[in-house]
Homo-oligomer: A and B are copies of this chain.
Amino acid sequence: MKPYLLQTLKELALLGAIRNKIELSSHELAKQLETSQQTASRYLLELDTQQMITRELGVKKQLIQITSIGADLLENAYLSYKQIFDLSTKVAFKGKLISGMGEGKYYTEQKGYADQFKKQLGFVAHPGTFNVEIEYIERNKLRLLRNCGGILINEFQAENRTFGNVVCFKATINGYKGAIVLPKRSHYAIVLECISPYYLREKLGLHDGDEVEVIVYLQ
């Protein structure tokens, strides 16, 4: 999607073209976009070709309406901005499934953790963790999790050692309910350890290396 076409679509939407047909000449659009009539005309042609708008050309003006394809594009852009500014809600991560070394199973089976998961998250975690290595480009986002509180799981003693504090966030993993688990200590993990009431590998039919989307709910 060319940025200037999205921009144009946005202007059309601001004039009400999502809900109604609007009467608009290429000259008027040009003024709005601070460009030439020719360029505005070309933009409209491009949007039309890509089926983002419908047009009815009259002798004087044209009636323009944004199609559902165009509206979807705008909505996506909107959701991005929402993610930026209404940070309270959620953050999406993309990554790929990797194997742990069995330690996930060891920890999640500790009664001290399991009982708290049940109480704080509302589900009994399937033994083991579902580990998603976050894409390089998205690792910056991980920092956000460190600044956003989350659900505290308290440390406890068992088997002659201490199991440390852990922070959780509710999450969905490819749409399935679950949570992510962050050891309070480790600073720059690039892996999200997910727990869930389901055996996710089976439920999602995924193997090592497959793409996974994790949506983390920050509050």
Contact surface of A with B, Cβ cutoff 8 Å:
3-4, 6-7, 10, 13-20, 22-24, 28, 31-32, 74-75, 77-78, 80-85, 136-138, 140-141, 143-144, 147
Contacts and interface: CB of A to CB of B under 8 A. Distances in A.
A81 B85 contact: no
Contacts of A28: 136-137
Among all A-B residue pairs, the 3 with the closest Cβ atoms: A3-B3, A78-B81, A22-B140
Given A7-B3, A10-B81, A85-B75, A137 B32 contact: yes
Contact of A16 (B82, B136, B143): B143
Given A3-B6, A7-B3, A18 B140 contact: no
Chain multiplicity (copies) = 2
A138 B15 contact: yes
A82 B147 CA distance: 26
Contact of A14 (B18, B22, B80): B80
Contacts of A137: 15, 24, 28, 31-32
B84 A140 contact: no
A84 B141 contact: no
Contact of A18 (B77, B82, B84): B84
B78 A74 contact: no
A25 to B, nearest CB: 9
Nearest to A15: B140
Contacts of A141: 14-16
Nearest to A7: B3
Given A3-B7, A140-B20, A143-B20, A85 B80 contact: no
Contacts of A19: 144, 147
Contacts of A23: 140
A16 B81 contact: no
A71 to B, nearest CB: 9
Given A16-B143, A20-B140, 6 more contacts: A10-B81, A10-B84, A19-B147, A22-B140, A28-B136, A78-B85
